[in-house]
A and B are shown apart, each in its own frame.
Chain A
Amino acid sequence: MTTADYERNMVLSTVDYKVIGTRPVRHDGADKVTGRAIYGADFDTSGLLHGKILRSPHAHAKIVSIDTSKAEALEGVKAVATAADFPQTDDKKWVRDNILASDKALYAGHAIAGVAAASPHVAEEALALIEVKYEVLEPVLTTQEAMAKGAPILHEGLTTQELGEDSGVVSNTADHFQHEKGDITKGFAEADVIIEREYDTAMVHQGYIEPHNGTALWNTDGRLHVWCSTQGSFVVRDSLADLLDMPVSKIRVTPTEIGGGFGGKIPIYVEPVAAILSKKTGAPVKIVMSRKETFEGSGPTPGSNIKIKLGAKSDGTITAAHAWMAMEAGGYPGSPVGAAAQCVFAAYDIENGLIDGYDVVVNKPKTAPYRAPGAPNAAFGMEQAMNELANKLNMDPIDLRLKNVAAEGTQRVDGPTFRRIGAKEVLEAMKNHPHYQAAKAAGHGRGVAIGFWFNIGFDSACNIAVNSDGSINLTEGSTDIGGSRTSIAMHAAEVLGIPVEDVSPSVVDTDTIGFTAVTGGSRTTFATGWAAYEAAQDVKRQSIERAGSIWDVDPDSLQMEDGVISSKTDSELKMTFKDLASQMSGTGGGITGRASVNPSGVGGSFAGNIVDVSVDDETGKVTVDRFTCVQDVGKAIHPSYVEGQMQGGSVQGIGWALNEEYFMNDQGNMANSSLLDYRMPTSLDLPMIDTVIVEVANPGHPFGVRGVGEANIVPPTPAIANAVFDATGNIMTQLPLTPGSVLDSGK
């Protein structure tokens, strides 16, 4: 292991603020280190029943019949639910069927029925008494199998959307789309060097430590109240309204604390089943998934089959690029191949490019978002191809990337033109980093890669109530997975010039705050932070007006800075925000600020890795010895939590690269659905993860925030593969890089 002889975890700041950029202790911290924080499975309420879900043992089967009578007769069982209990609206069939299958089981682990009982053990016993008759069909488990001629068909009603038009052809390919820029035939003809290779990646899981859970109470007044761990309480509300065919006004969702999500807790699974069971019993019903259910019955991210072809001049200029990507959607259409297409070439200025994307259904769990969904799969191919190109041209791999790097004004192959981005600054920080400058240890390999995620904006709301002591209560709707209460509170504190400890932030339910989109897409600090900024501006405006009325002067002659309201013309007129707050009652009442935003100025983020590995000659085991993550975050609101995102994303990428995969037998059953056999990185597998925060301000946010959660998981898999190549000379075309595959690829 290398001893660092430099300052680790650098922050390359360009602008300083009073609160933004500091590292306060999070507001929910005390509850989370003492065990007091209430997560979904901790929730309890009077008369609670416990639910369990029966799941298909078959990856592909027709459901002939379901007999629940014996289960219902078991002492302690209160109700059984099946797909027949949902309102049978035609347009929601696939969504509904993924919650409880009606006519077909499309993956092993597919939910079939739910039971509510006095205890979880009784509910589990009852599951064994439900008699399901299946007609077992042949499963298709990869995109290659699913796209092959004569493959078993998952959905008789699914026809391929071919370049935006319904082809009328029944197949497992739900969609084929293209993005095209320039003329690749011309571009490849101009190339001195061409690289062409095919890559495969395995299905992987987000691996949040807290399994899915939800408690529902269908009250006697017809209102449904749900408590659950979710990345988006409004998504749960709106999805339930759709599935249960009821107005959103009848549904209230209270988000509990959430034990990780990484995209996987955007969709709903157990909540609708709990709701139906509650409606049938009149009692609240809690359902908590087991770990096995979390692997087999929630939404992992797809395996993929990717072909990359690059053409370049001998000076390194890319003349043409073609990406062909097929991704596993799981049992129902909707893989992240569209997002992958937005990211695959985004780091580079490519004159002639073509991207083909295929969304393919297979007999595996319906995929869900996972941190920069689709982008790591795409980068595993593209960034290895870039490495191969650099080797062929005998160029430094960072220099090759800098030669072609995308910048402000670059038009991506998929259409959009970049505003100010930090791809170049990330590559330069990598090149200048002591890690890249240091000599490699003997026998070690070094790899680099960069990755992109576009980030999203969407709706967020925030309310602020001023207390009489000058503190503020801030309410918002973004569930807090990694310290976002505090980063959002810091926006308001900065605007009002008060300490962040004077802000009391709360994540509240869907009855209590305006519509707020998911905690996902790296949007939370960006968009909900912006809502807090605007709500604080509203408070500031009203505070100045109130001071004007107290002093009987024109508010336009006043200003508020660093928590002090003062006159621009009369130095005698001065009052702290605290003083003003103490006078609110009697001068017009309490001050409340509010804002709802839908920011359009979202700024994409680039991350890059430098990785040193050693490879055991005899076993093929790869050890990551040194790892550096560089990311342009725009502005780090709370640098410690930004570093935490970078380190966490890096380590998920390391797991994806080296260990993790859904290991399916030929019948489509997952053979490693435990945390022993689905091997996520432990503390012992890793070095410290060094970080460099690059701050190229996003012009579309008041403090320059880009969003930080996702881009960091994109470069690890190719950076590690490139390092393994450097150590062994073996090109790694399959994820994960298991010891066996590292040895085999040398043959």
Chain B
Amino acid sequence: MPGKTHVQTTINGEKVDFLCEPRQSLLECLRDVIGLTGTKEGCNDGNCGACTINMDGRVVTSCLVLGVEAEGANIETIEGVADGSNLHPLQLAFLENAALQCGICTPGFIVASKALLEQNPDPTEYEIRFWLANNLCRCTGYDKIIRAVQDAAKRMQEA
């Protein structure tokens, strides 16, 4: 087994260094090395979206990124979405629209939706459905999630 690699990143605005094996995914590094367990594993092959993070402005499934590939990257996870103790409008909208049931997919949906609203502040229902099609939810049937994103867009425009 080769030795561990030293990786320097910025995570949720803070400089974070970690050591990882070449075979460890960024998801595994976030969860098991750094201790940020808000990012979830549902499939480990890029098909469920539970591990969605924002990496250098792109929405990625962190299970398909190696930890060593994160060198120099600017990463945002679910833990960085709220502004201190103030929830993001998406988080409020998810709560008030009952857009989660078990909640395991919720971090991925919120991170993905935040990226959508940053580039398209007033998306149509179709645009929301298209953007979120890589995030699986098995509990809600998506209806209340779509409505929560619409509601958050409205809150953010009014703010």
Contacts and interface: CB of A to CB of B under 8 A. Distances in A.
A153 to B, nearest CB: 36
B133 A648 contact: no
A29 B93 CA distance: 11
A25 B141 contact: no
Interface in A618-660: 638, 640-641, 643-645, 647-652
A680 B95 contact: no
Nearest to A679: B47
Interface string A679-693: 011111010110000
A291 B98 contact: no
B37 A33 contact: no
A261 B138 CA distance: 10
Interface string A208-222: 111100000000000
Residue of A41, A206, A644 contacting most chain B CB atoms (<10 Å): A644
Interface string B104-146: 1111001000000000000001001110111111111111111
Nearest to A627: B141
A33 B95 contact: yes
Contacts of A311: none
B71 interface: no
B14 interface: no
Given A481-B102, A640-B144, A684-B129, A34 B138 contact: no
B141 A651 contact: yes
Interface string B72-116: 000001110110000100010011111011111111001000000
Contact of A291 (B42, B82, B143): B42
Q: Provide the main secondary structure of the chain B interface.
A: loop
A206 B87 CA distance: 32
A644 B101 contact: yes
B106 A33 contact: yes
Given A38-B37, A41-B41, A674-B45, A23 B98 contact: yes
B127 to A, nearest CB: 11
A73 to B, nearest CB: 16
A208 B47 contact: no
A290 interface: yes
Given A648-B140, A683-B135, A33 B129 contact: no
A112 interface: no
Residue of B91, B103, B139, B146 contacting most chain A CB atoms (<10 Å): B103
Contact of B91 (A34, A39, A121, A210): A34
B141 A291 contact: no
A35 interface: yes
B102 A210 contact: yes
Contact of A39 (B40, B139, B142): B40
B44 A259 contact: no
B45 A676 contact: yes
A206 B43 CA distance: 14
B95 A35 contact: no
B116 to A, nearest CB: 12
Nearest to B94: A33
Interface in B10-26: 21, 23-24
A674 B47 contact: yes
Nearest to A639: B98
Given A33-B100, A683-B133, A688-B146, A644 B139 contact: yes
Interface residues of B, number: 57
Contacts of A638: 98
Contacts of A37: 103
Contact of A209 (B36, B50, B91, B130): B50
Interface in B27-81: 31, 36-45, 47-48, 50, 77-79, 81
B94 A209 contact: no
A629 to B, nearest CB: 9
A38 B31 CA distance: 12
A682 B47 contact: no
A209 B100 contact: no
A24 to B, nearest CB: 10
A638 B98 CA distance: 10
A470 to B, nearest CB: 25
A22 to B, nearest CB: 12
Nearest to B98: A640
Interface in A243-284: 257-262
Given A482-B102, A675-B48, A211 B38 contact: no
A38 B40 CA distance: 10
A647 B144 contact: yes
Nearest to A688: B143
Given A30-B87, A34-B82, A35-B78, A651 B142 contact: yes
Contact of A262 (B91, B103, B138): B138
A681 B135 CA distance: 10
Nearest to A676: B47
Residue of B42, B77, B96, B105 contacting most chain A CB atoms (<10 Å): B42
Contacts of A288: 41
A675 B38 contact: no
B37 A35 contact: yes
A29 B134 CA distance: 23
Nearest to A34: B82
Contacts of B107: 33, 35
Interface in A142-195: none
Interface string A1-33: 000000000000000000000010110111011
B105 A209 contact: yes
Contacts of A262: 138
B102 A686 contact: no
Given A33-B110, A209-B136, A644 B104 contact: no
Given A641-B98, A683-B128, A210 B141 contact: no
A529 B48 CA distance: 33
Nearest to B45: A674
A547 B38 CA distance: 47
6 contacts: A41-B31, A42-B37, A209-B48, A290-B44, A291-B45, A481-B101
Given A209-B104, A481-B101, A643-B98, 20 more contacts: A29-B100, A30-B95, A32-B106, A33-B95, A33-B103, A34-B38, A37-B103, A39-B104, A210-B42, A260-B104, A640-B97, A644-B98, A644-B139, A651-B142, A675-B47, A682-B132, A683-B132, A683-B145, A686-B129, A686-B142
Q: Pick the 7 closest A-B CB pairs, nearest first.
A: A35-B38, A259-B104, A651-B141, A32-B103, A647-B141, A640-B98, A35-B78
Interface of A: 23, 25-26, 28-30, 32-39, 41-42, 121, 206-211, 257-262, 288, 290-291, 481-483, 638, 640-641, 643-645, 647-652, 674-676, 680-684, 686, 688-689
Interface of B: 21, 23-24, 31, 36-45, 47-48, 50, 77-79, 81-82, 87, 91, 94-98, 100-107, 110, 125, 128-130, 132-146
